[in-house]
Amino acid sequence: MVKLRLKRCGRKQRIVAIDVRSRREGKDLRKVGFYDPLKNQTYLNVPAILYFLEKGAQPTGTVQDILKKAEIFKELRPNQTKFN
């Protein structure tokens, strides 16, 4: 299973698509954005995020909050907005 989660990268954190069996600093499938908590700044690769969400990727709690704030879930079909 693939998850969208945060990966540390200096003071910023990258949002990556990664296999659930990998460690936090393990090899990611693709970098889909970054989040800077000090400046409260985000950059999101929306097409890549939508691609992984449509394929069944599950965002972690923090990443889900970031995506809700950026209104990413409005671009998905209504039946795909439910996550475990």
Chain segment 44-63, per-residue pLDDT in tens: 999 999 999 999 999 999 99
Residue 64 falls within a domain, yes or no?
yes
Radius of gyration of the chain (CA): 12
Residue 70 falls within a domain, yes or no?
yes
Residue 82 falls within a domain, yes or no?
no
Residue 28 falls within a domain, yes or no?
yes
- The domain containing residue 58 runs over which residues? 2-74
Residue 80 falls within a domain, yes or no?
no
Reported pTM: 0.82
Task: Look at the chain and report how many structural domains it folds into.
Answer: 1
Q: Which residue has better confidence, 20 or 82?
A: 20
Q: Is the pLDDT of residue 77 over 70?
A: no
Residue 84 falls within a domain, yes or no?
no
* Amino acid (one-letter) located at 84: N
Q: Is the pLDDT of residue 83 over 90?
A: no
Q: What is the CATH number of the domain that holds 28?
A: 3.30.1320.10
